[in-house]
């Protein structure tokens, strides 16, 4: 059945497609067509229900010869603006030194902070552009970018300004999150509460005033911020009209997910050590569980997030790259799909929803993005596969043919 049709002329029409709408599961439409007008989906249905000859209906007509269309992927958790890399630390970890030990010795996040502070806007932009382009080449049309490698006002602002520059330079939607509470900077090592004062009294008010980000995230963990500190930062974020997100239960169970749920967080992310109580709290608040299988893989974690219980209690599960130099140096959403299935036992269908509609929900943009639905933004990817499960199945093979942002073909460079 045609889902809608009133316009006489569309800007573009894609015909002979298999459409995975991501509405109610895969939401497959075989032998389908999609029309776009003014950057939005304006008709979705079966070819045989098209109200006329394709060339009479749209200015541009593209025959897809049975290729598969999915919504553009949404990478809802990245830290992709940073300086340098951490290959040396990777070598150390392979010799048995743990991530926490490296962090305690002043390596880890701190070393990336030093490199990031020393870079200009332009240098950061050039390095980050490469990572964003690589993500786009795996079907991504929307990303979230967190600050957090500055840990002082100047550098945190620089990162968020570079995020805005990326959105200007590329056909991609960028949602910005302030993660000043990523690590306690060395200047405040003796008194982390003083740094939390700075975050709450100076940084968050300025982030809100200058509209540098629309969400605030906290890394709640023994090596980062405590539960009471996290609570204080969340309360301040809400007071300034910013959404809340949380790096929760990545290395231990601190109760951060439950706390974040009590603030109606958009998402809680990582979750390897999430408790039964935590899952129930997420189910009640409608908070999205963001799983980051590439970080799990790269840290060679053993503890799995409680997938069965999340599934049983219908907590929406999103997937993201966590693109960052310390725990997830990847720029492939296809690899993330595969790892979610092989490492976390998600079904390929759950994985696909995890990078589309559930990822949109994790960013609070599910009304306009994340599925192929009338009046939503026409962001989609065209794949040379016969079934969307193939997107999670291949390991390192990329079947992307074209990417469409707001109804227009993206130059994939």
Residues 6+ apart with CB under 8 A from 8: 57
Min separation Cβ 125 and ligand DI6, Å: 19
What's the length of the chain?
Answer: 413
The interface with ligand DI6 within residues 6-65 (CB under 6 A) comprises none
Q: For the chain, report the end-to-end CA distance as a whole number of angstroms.
A: 37
Q: Please tell me whether residue 325 binds ligand DI6 under the rule CB under 6 A.
A: yes
- List helix spans (H) across 118-226: 121-136, 153-169, 192-198, 204-209
The interface with ligand DI6 within residues 280-319 (CB under 6 A) comprises 295
Q: Please tell me whether residue 322 binds Fe ion under the rule CB under 5 A.
A: yes
Min separation Cβ 144 and ligand DI6, Å: 13
Per partner kind, with CB cut-offs from 5 to 8 A, the member of ligand DI6, Fe ion, none near residue 109 is ligand DI6
d(CA 406, CA 163): 20
d(CA 58, CA 29): 20
Per partner kind, with CB cut-offs from 5 to 8 A, the member of ligand DI6, Fe ion, none near residue 366 is none
The interface with ligand DI6 within residues 205-224 (CB under 6 A) comprises 219
d(CA 160, CA 97): 32
Q: Please tell me whether residue 247 binds ligand DI6 under the rule CB under 6 A.
A: yes
Instruction: Closer to ligand DI6 by CB, 112 or 366: give it.
Output: 112
Min separation Cβ 361 and ligand DI6, Å: 21
Q: How many helices (H) and strands (E) does the chain have?
A: 17, 16
Strand-strand pairing, 58-63 and 10-20: parallel
d(CA 279, CA 260): 12
The interface with ligand DI6 within residues 170-199 (CB under 6 A) comprises 182
Instruction: Closer to ligand DI6 by CB, 37 or 86: give it.
Output: 86
Instruction: Closer to Fe ion by CB, 124 or 299: give it.
Output: 299
Q: Footprint of ligand DI6 on this chain (CB under 6 A)?
A: 108-109, 112, 182, 219, 247, 250, 295, 322, 324-327
Q: Footprint of Fe ion on this chain (CB under 5 A)?
A: 322
């Amino acid at each position: 059945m045609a889902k809608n049709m009133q316009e006489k002329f569309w800007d573009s029409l894609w015909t002979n497609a298999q459409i995975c709408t991501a509405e109610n599961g895969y939401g497959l439409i075989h032998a389908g067509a999609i029309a776009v007008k003014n950057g939005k989906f304006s008709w979705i249905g079966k070819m045989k229900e098209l109200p006329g000859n394709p060339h009479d209906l749209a200015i541009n007509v593209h025959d897809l010869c049975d290729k598969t269309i999915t919504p553009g992927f949404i990478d809802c958790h990245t830290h992709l603006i940073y300086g340098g890399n951490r290959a040396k630390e990777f070598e150390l970890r392979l010799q048995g030194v743990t991530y926490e030990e490296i962090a305690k010795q002043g390596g880890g996040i701190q070393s990336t902070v030093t490199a990031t502070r020393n870079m200009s806007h332009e240098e950061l932009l050039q390095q980050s552009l490469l990572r964003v382009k690589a993500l786009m080449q795996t079907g991504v049309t929307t990303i979230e970018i967190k600050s957090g490698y500055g840990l002082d006002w100047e550098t945190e602002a620089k990162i968020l300004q570079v995020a805005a520059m990326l959105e200007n330079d590329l056909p991609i939607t960028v949602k910005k999150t302030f993660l000043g509470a990523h690590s306690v900077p060395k200047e405040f090592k003796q008194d982390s509460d003083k740094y939390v004062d700075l975050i709450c009294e100076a940084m968050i008010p300025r982030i809100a005033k200058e509209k540098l980000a629309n969400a605030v995230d906290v890394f709640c963990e023994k090596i980062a911020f405590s539960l009471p500190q996290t609570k204080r930062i969340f309360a301040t974020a809400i007071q300034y009209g910013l959404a809340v997100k949380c790096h929760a239960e990545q290395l231990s169970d601190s109760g951060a997910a439950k706390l974040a749920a009590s603030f109606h967080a958009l998402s809680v992310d990582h979750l390897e050590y999430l408790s039964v109580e935590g899952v129930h709290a997420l189910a009640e608040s409608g908070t999205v569980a963001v799983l980051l299988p590439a970080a799990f893989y790269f840290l060679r974690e053993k503890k799995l997030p409680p997938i069965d219980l999340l599934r049983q209690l219908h907590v929406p599960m999103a997937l993201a790259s966590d693109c960052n130099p310390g725990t997830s140096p990847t720029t492939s959403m296809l690899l993330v799909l595969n790892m979610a299935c092989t490492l976390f036992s998600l079904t390929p269908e759950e994985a696909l929803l995890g990078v589309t509609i559930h990822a949109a929900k994790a960013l609070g943009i599910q009304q306009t993005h994340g599925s192929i639905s009338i009046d939503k933004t026409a962001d989609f990817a065209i794949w040379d596969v016969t079934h969307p499960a193939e997107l999670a199945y291949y390991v390192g093979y990329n079947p992307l043919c074209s990417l469409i942002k707001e109804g227009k073909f993206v130059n994939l460079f």
